[in-house]
Structures are given as C-alpha cells and as structure tokens.
A and B are shown apart, each in its own frame.
Chain A
Amino acid sequence: MTDASGPVLELAGPRPAPIIEADRLVKRYGPRVALRGVSFTIAPREVVGLLGPNGSGKSTLLRLITGYLAPSGGTARVDGLDVVSESIEVRRRVGYVPEDAPLYEWMRVSEFLDFMARIKGLGGVAARCAASGVAEQLALGPVMRLLIGKLSRGYRQRVAIAQALLCDPRVLIFDEPTNALDAFQVVAVRELIRSLAGSRTILVASHVLSEIEKVASRVMILVEGRLLTDDALREVKGPSRLRLRVGGESQQVVACLRSVPGVAAAVCNERGTYLITAEPGQNIAPGVAASVSRMGLPLEELATVAPDLESVFLDLAARQALPDRVAA
C-alpha cells in the first residue's frame, strides 16, 4: 500500500543542459534587419521544427547556428561552444544540409563524400569507410559513380544529407529539406529525418506547415525575424477559441468584443471573421453572443475552434503582421 496523501516526489532528473542556445540573436544585412533578438534553447535529442514564411529569417538563423554567418548582436552556442569564437569546433558537432542542396556538380558522388569526410578530419581508409557507411544508410549505392550534376533532385538531397551525417554529428540542421521534391521524395526524406531522430538533436526549418508538423516534437515560429513562439504545439494543446463571423464595421465588432468580460485577444483573419481567445478558465461564448445581439450586428457564425498548428501559426503571424488589427 502506498500513502497517497504523502509529499509529491520529484521523479524527473535534472534538466539536461541545452545543446543549442540562442540569446538575443540579431542579424543585419546593411540597413535590413533579418533577425530581431531571437532567443531559444534546444535540449539534446529534441526534434525541433522552425516554421516561418519565406523571407522570415529561417535560413539566416540556421546559418548563424552553423557558424557560416556571424551575428550582428547576441550570442549562440552549440554544445556549450560559441559559434563565433569556437566556430571550427561547432562545425565538428553540426551536420548541416543547406537549402536546395548546393553541391559540386562536377564531382562524382563517391568523390564528394570522400572529400567531405577528409575535410571533416578523417584519414584515407577512415574517410572511405565513412563515405560508404553513409552511402549505404541513404541507399546511394546505385549512384555512387555518377556525377552529382546528373542526379535527380531526390538523390541530390540524399547526397546532401549523407555529407551532413559524416563523422556522426551530435546536431543535424536541415534547411527546407523537402523543397521542390515530388510527393514520393518528400515522404522518403521525412522518413529519413524521423529515422535519424532519437540519437541526435535535429532542427528542421521549413515554410511548409504540414512537413514540420509531421517530423517535429516542438515547433518554433519565426515571422519577420521575430520568434513568435518557441513551442507552437503547446499552444495547440491550449484552450480552444471561438470563431466569430459577423457583419458590420470592424470598429463596431471591436467595441462589441471589448465589452465582453474574459476576452483575452481577437484577431481578424479575413474580412468579417474573428478568432477570439478567452482568458484561462473563462467561457465567453454566451457573452459574445449576447454582446453581438445587443449591438444589433448580423451574426453569421459563432463556433468553438479546437486550435491546430495552422490556426496557431496564422494567429501568431497575423498578430505580428497586423498588430493594429488585434482587437482586445
């Protein structure tokens, strides 16, 4: 028999030190600011998705973490190493697959993997063994003697992933890994990323929401250089919202929603459709219906919406892009 009324025991061990840490990262390209104070941490063996529209700064953020670019402000650390002052050591720990797999097209696949293994510090026999090991893992056997320039996009992507896996890095970073691939190739790459998870930390950037949703256990959302959330999936599991479709001027709707106690925020997603978030523990549906009726606005729809990643993303992106449209 156990004593159920006894003190609650802390069964979880101490939290492991993060393997990737970004602290107020800023990147400027001349007058243009690509990243505006981005901070987050990633624990070892986490699979994290970085979601954001094109031009939101995802690739810049990944390039800062891999040491390819230097930040204009803030710091980033990988495995406790600073990405600027200890860039070479950071690159030993990171396998990076850049967007669109930029590879040497005049090299054969075997030559390229051998070359990458050598510049990652492996000697002759070890380099050949490592190259053939990753080639086997990624089923590159049939194309090892072909020029990279002759490969299909799917195979090119696999070669890019293979070079990232050389020397068994602790962290794998993928930038838009399914870009321009056909449906079969997308599934194959997704399965591959899933198979690599578990023993490694993986950071995947994409603008395709469904891709991120299928591979990541945590999703960060980056819009216009700002990290809007470092765990969008937590918000998905959060309280449901109301979708209100109503006629009338937006000022009237705003005034109507302001008068309802318990409304935390409302975002106008499209003309006349509002996504309303309640304060914790509040049931606002009757209040909203009553307020709309009292103001004489034509009510078309009032429904509870279980949040999904898409709605969370659109909600956050709308708040970022159109802060003046946030009603309450």
Chain B
Amino acid sequence: MKVFAALVRKEEQALFTSPIAYVVLTVFLLLMGYSFCLTLFMTHVSDLVHLFFQIFVMFLLTIPVITMRLVAEERNLRTLETLLSAPVSETQIVLAKYVASLSLVVLMLVLSLSYAIVLAIFGEPDWGPIYSGYLGLLLLGAALVAAGLTASCIARNQVVAALLSLSIFLLLWIIDQFGYILPDPFNALVVNLSLSVHFKPFVTGSLYLSDAGYFISIALLGIFLSVWALARR
C-alpha cells in the first residue's frame, strides 16, 4: 500500500507540475461559468441539466489531454525503464496513474459545485437530479480516464494517444445515431454502446443499474487493457 501511495503521489506531482492540469482547469471553469450564467439568465430555472450536458462534452474534449501523457510520455522518455527496474507491478503503475488522473476530474467536478451552491443560495433547486447528475459525471469521468489511459498505453506518441482517445470518445458519443439505420438486433446493440444514451437518465434524476454498469464496465475494461498493454512491452 505504501508503494501504491508513493506511485499515486508521484503521478499527481507529475500532473500538477505540468501546465496541462492548470490549462484544463482554467478552460473548464471559464466555459462552464459562462454557460451556467447564460443558461440561468435566459431560462430563470434553478437546475443544472444544461450544465451537466456541457460538462459531458467538456469531458470528451479534455480527458484525452489529461491522459495522453500518462504512459506514452514515460515510454518515449524511457523513464518507464527506470520505474520498472523497481519491484512494482504493472497493475500498481496503471492503477496509480488512473487514480491520479481521476483525481483531477474529481477536482473539476468539485469546483463546479460552486454553481449548485449559487442555485441553493438564490433559488430552490430539486437536489435529486443534481446528485444523480454528479454521480453520472463521476462515472463518465471514470470510464473516459480508463479509456484514455489505454490509448496512452498503446500509442508511443502523446499526440497519437490524444487523437486515438478523442476518436473513441466521439465515436461512442454519436454511435447511437447509427442504430437508426441498422437492422434488429444490431440497432439495440449499437444504441447501448452510446455514452450519451447511458448518461441522459442520470441528468434527469433516473438511476438505472444498467447505466452505472455500462460506465463501470468501460472503466474496468480500460484498466485491464492498460495493464495488458503495459505488460506486453
């Protein structure tokens, strides 16, 4: 456990000594703040439905930037060789990178709680969809970080890793559109692969185990594939 804690601390230090974390946080807060104010002044409705969809899209665009360097950079700079000369397993390394990256996503969500606090001060929001929306975003972030980590383990170059994960995310975002042109039973299969189809119920306050299971499955699959890709070196 001490070894794992040291690895997580090192990953967090790597994340926060690079400008990437600060750029991502700044862009996220600026765009979400603007979107929150605009929506609030135009609709005068005290909910965060619109904001949650904006954060959904922001995650698709920013998580590849967070995860791209995780393994691709270490492999490129050959620091992976130094790291793996120590008695640490590939699973520990992958999990430490995963936890550290997810902590940045959680920090983004924690900072976005300020919008909920503003609603609580000036209105009477329905807290159910806000809680479930945050749960959905947390699960979405967990799945996307795992998928981005896999891309970083596969690709040798950071830019390739970012483009690969961005492509996967965008495909999973719009894949349900292809369901309408496919015959039964492929349409149902394709629709159920969609990120947005499984995310929407969380935003409206509906919790289904199948939706949570979908995101958790992607996260576990991503972690498994990352360990496999790292061990295959």
Contact = CB atoms under 8 A, between A and B. Distances in A.
Interface in A82-112: 88-89, 91-92, 94-96, 98, 100, 102-104, 106-107, 111
Interface stretch (A13-21, A113-121, A130-138, A185-193): A113-121
B228 to A, nearest CB: 13
Contact of A116 (B18, B86, B89): B86
A98 B81 contact: yes
B2 A103 contact: no
Contacts of B86: 91, 116, 119-120
B156 to A, nearest CB: 14
A102 B78 contact: yes
B79 A68 contact: no
Nearest to B85: A96
Given A118-B2, A119-B3, A92 B77 contact: no
A318 interface: no
Residue with the highest number of chain A CB atoms closer than 10 Å, among B2, B81, B233: B81
A69 interface: yes
B189 interface: no
A184 B87 CA distance: 33
B85 A103 contact: no
B225 interface: no
A119 B17 CA distance: 20
Contact of B81 (A63, A89, A123): A63
A119 B7 contact: yes
A121 B87 contact: yes
B23 interface: no
B77 to A, nearest CB: 6
Interface in B81-115: 81-89
Contacts of A104: 10, 14, 79
Contacts of B83: 119
B13 interface: yes
A160 interface: yes
A256 to B, nearest CB: 52
B6 A163 contact: no
A157 interface: no
Nearest to B10: A115
Contacts of A102: 77-79, 81-82
A107 B87 CA distance: 20
B111 to A, nearest CB: 24
A95 B86 CA distance: 8
A206 interface: no
A75 interface: no
A91 B233 CA distance: 17
Residue with the highest number of chain B CB atoms closer than 10 Å, among A63, A102, A119: A119
A103 B87 contact: no
Given A68-B85, A94-B85, A119-B88, A100 B78 contact: yes
Given A104-B14, A107-B13, A119-B7, A91 B85 contact: yes
A68 B18 CA distance: 27
A118 B96 CA distance: 14
A68 B90 CA distance: 11
A76 to B, nearest CB: 15
A118 B9 CA distance: 11
Given A89-B87, A115-B6, A123-B2, A106 B79 contact: no
A56 interface: no
Given A92-B87, A104-B14, A98 B82 contact: yes
A274 to B, nearest CB: 43
Nearest to B84: A68
A66 interface: yes
A111 B175 CA distance: 46
A175 to B, nearest CB: 9
B82 A163 contact: yes
Contacts of A163: 82
Contacts of B81: 63, 68, 96, 98, 102
Contacts of A92: 87
Contacts of B6: 115, 118-119
Interface of A: 63, 66-69, 88-89, 91-92, 94-96, 98, 100, 102-104, 106-107, 111, 115-116, 118-121, 123, 160, 163-164
Given A111-B13, A115-B10, A120-B87, 18 more contacts: A63-B81, A68-B85, A88-B87, A95-B85, A96-B82, A98-B81, A102-B79, A102-B81, A106-B17, A115-B6, A116-B86, A118-B6, A119-B3, A119-B86, A119-B88, A121-B3, A163-B82, A164-B85
4 pairs of A and B residues whose beta carbons are closest in the complex: A102-B78, A118-B6, A96-B85, A91-B87
20 contacts: A63-B81, A68-B81, A88-B89, A89-B87, A91-B85, A92-B87, A98-B82, A102-B81, A103-B82, A104-B10, A106-B17, A111-B13, A115-B9, A115-B10, A116-B86, A118-B2, A119-B88, A120-B87, A123-B2, A163-B82
